[in-house]
């Protein structure tokens, strides 16, 4: 794991890569009491050429920095953190699966370690990165996912922190998620406002594909900023479909569109297609 400590008096300390293990925190640590913390998530993929690639990691660094500003945690150098992550993955490269359906999950985490009670801007913080192997999130045998929507629950709202990757956004979603399971659904379709605007769908990106009133194909997704988390993959899908101009065969369009998007993204991630979106380890 990678750890980097920060204090208001001494600034950032030198990064340290060490074996995975437990951490010791002060019982009054404000990340535990007041939720002053955030995280990111990205993957390292082993390509057909055996080279390791990260997918658009600088977008993750940018999003993490935005979350840090919202949580009053200190700023950091995006390029230096990415280089630290690259080195960590390089050291632990044997853990990256030899598979085109799995990868090495990378979890950068940023927490306040302020050792005193009181709601205030932290004077101490810890940025650390851990790794684990990860496969498909959902059961591959399922033909489609069922979504449960109930306006009594709201995940994010204007002026809140829904556009930041903070743990509290996920903890508050558990009750609705388990209620969705009780109703036989796999994920929650989150709604917002009196007119029940669609915002997000649980752990997934959501897009709407239709033929408009003048017969043109359109692909829409909730805004990439504002009350919902701007997604690295969501942005990538929009860029791909703009490149394609949505010229899709007529048979079973929705299935072919999603399959085409998934194939092109995975081909980029595993190095079958050259792209500036990948970062070599």
Whether the pTM exceeds 0.75: the reply is: yes
- Per-residue pLDDT at 190: 93
So what CATH class is 147-269? alpha beta
Whether residue 248 has pLDDT greater than 50? no
CATH 3.20.10.10 range(s) for the chain read 147-269
Residue 81: name the closest of 18, 149, 12 by CA: 12
Q: How many CA atoms lie within 13 A of 261 on its CB side?
A: 23
Q: Domain 2-135 belongs to what topology?
A: D-amino Acid Aminotransferase; Chain A, domain 1 (3.30.470)
Instruction: Give the pLDDT confidence of 158-200 residue by residue, as tens digits.
Output: 899 999 999 999 999 999 999 999 999 989 999 999 999 988 8
Whether residue 141 has pLDDT greater than 80? no
Q: Return the DSSP state at 15.
A: P
Q: Residues 192, 200: contact at Cβ < 8 Å?
A: no
Residue 201: name the closest of 240, 148, 237 by CA: 148
CATH 3.30.470.10 range(s) for the chain read 2-135
Instruction: Give the pLDDT confidence of 15-46 residue by residue, as tens digits.
Output: 999 999 999 999 999 999 999 999 999 999 99
Q: Residues 177, 183: contact at Cβ < 8 Å?
A: no
Phi, psi of 97, deg, nearest 5: -60, 145
Q: From CA 53, how far away is CA 95, in angstroms rounded?
A: 14
Q: Which tokens go with 66?
A: 């935005």
Q: Left if phi > 0, otherwise alpha if psi is -120 to 50, otherwise beta: which for 117? A: beta
Whether residue 254 has pLDDT greater than 70? no
């Amino acid at each position: 794991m990678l750890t980097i400590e920060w204090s208001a008096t001494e600034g950032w300390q030198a990064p340290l890569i060490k074996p995975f293990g437990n951490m010791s925190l002060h019982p009054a640590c404000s990340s535990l009491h007041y939720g002053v913390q955030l995280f990111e998530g990205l993957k390292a993929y082993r390509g057909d050429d055996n080279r390791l690639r990260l997918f658009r990691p600088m977008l993750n660094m940018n999003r993490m920095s935005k979350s840090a500003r919202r949580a009053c945690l200190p700023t950091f150098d995006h390029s230096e953190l990415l280089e630290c992550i690259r080195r960590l993955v390089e050291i632990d490269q044997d853990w990256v699966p030899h598979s085109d359906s799995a990868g090495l999950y990378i979890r950068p985490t940023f927490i306040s370690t302020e050792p005193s009670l009181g709601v205030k801007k932290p004077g101490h913080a810890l940025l650390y990165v851990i790794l684990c192997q990860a496969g498909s999130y959902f059961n591959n045998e399922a033909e489609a996912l069922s979504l449960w929507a109930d306006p009594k629950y709201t995940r994010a709202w204007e002026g809140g922190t829904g556009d930041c990757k903070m743990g509290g956004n996920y903890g508050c979603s558990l009750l609705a998620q388990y209620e969705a399971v009780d109703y036989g659904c796999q994920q929650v379709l989150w709604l917002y406002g009196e007119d029940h605007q669609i915002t997000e769908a649980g752990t997934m990106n959501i897009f709407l594909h239709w033929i408009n009133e003048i017969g043109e194909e359109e692909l829409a997704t909730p805004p990439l900023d504002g009350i919902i988390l701007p997604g690295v993959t969501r942005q990538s899908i929009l860029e791909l479909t703009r490149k394609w101009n949505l010229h899709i065969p007529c048979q079973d369009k929705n299935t072919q569109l999603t399959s085409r998007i998934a194939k092109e993204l995975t081909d980029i991630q595993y190095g079958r297609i050259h792209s500036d979106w990948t970062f070599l380890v």
